[in-house]
Amino acid sequence: TMMETELRAGVTEASDQIVLHYQPVVDLTTGQVVAVEALARWHHPVLGEVPPSQFIALAERMGLIRQLGDWVLDQAIQDAGALTHEGRELDIAVNFSVLQLDKRTVSTVQEALARAGIRPGRLMIEVTESALVQDEDVVVRTLEALADLGVRVAIDDFGTGYSSLHSLRRYPIDTIKIDREFVAGIGRLVDDEAICTSVVHLASSVNATTIVEGVETVEQYAFLRAIGCHQGQGYLWSAPVPLERLPEAIASCE
């Protein structure tokens, strides 16, 4: 298809069509920005803005995800690694496809960190819960090796898959990201509030940090802070923005 041809060109040529946007992550207690999440964007001159749900899945099917993922990792580490806010370094969250987790991954990550002079503890790798369902030994071993390096591993979209509890036992999870579908109902749906509360308790009982996604209102923020959720991201603070606008976006969060 045209989209396949164009994606291959976008990934393999230095076309500038694929770029990273960054969304600030805020500590709910201090109100300070502590990290940024890198999110890939594809602007095509004819196809327009192709959503990442579409082009990441296509890159996976086409065998291009490794190349795309390596670029994302390197770029995010260079961009965000150089960022400081009021003298503080910010952590860097990068989404990984499960297809990027194999025996080459550890050296790829180590080299990317070394090139930019970034400590492993500043990097967080996010893997979606649904991808972890396959439960492959190579994925477990790779995440364990990354965790041994000091890289943090987050389980993304927590609660939307079918293996949440199993994944917590099986993988070296440092952080749980609560999916925005559960946040949307805060203040309206007691079930959503109960789910958020339960996930925060569950996370704390396995010593995991919780990050909540999709925070849009002050009411949601207040509720999540009160139940002990650690960090948040969402339109309340900032949408994902291009690197040039990130310092301004970070300043406006606090």
Q: Binding residues for ligand G, per CB under 6 A?
A: 23, 39-40, 52-53, 56, 72, 95-97, 128, 156-157, 180, 213-216, 233-235, 240
Select from 236, 244, 254, 233 the least CA-distant residue to 36. Answer: 233
Closest CB to ligand G among 220 and 227?
A: 220
Alpha helix (H) residue ranges in 82-217: 105-116, 129-132, 137-149, 164-170, 180-183, 190-205
Closest CB to ligand G among 193 and 237?
A: 237
Closest CB to ligand G among 156 and 192?
A: 156
- Angstrom CA distances, 187 to 108, 122, 216, 218, stand at 44, 34, 12, 11
Comparing every residue's Cβ against ligand G, the nearest one is 234
Question: Does the protein bind Na ion through residue 156 (CB under 5 A)?
Answer: yes
- Tokens standing for residue 188: 């309206």
* Helix, strand, coil content of the chain in percent (nearest 5): 50, 25, 30
Shortest distance, CB of residue 162 to ligand G, whole angstroms? 17
Question: Does the protein bind Na ion through residue 192 (CB under 5 A)?
Answer: no
Question: Does the protein bind Na ion through residue 175 (CB under 5 A)?
Answer: no
Residue pair 59/7 in contact (Cβ under 8 Å)? The answer is yes
Which of 23, 95, 105, 210 is in the footprint of Na ion by CB under 5 A? Answer: 95
Q: List interacting residues with Na ion (CB under 5 A).
A: 95, 126, 156
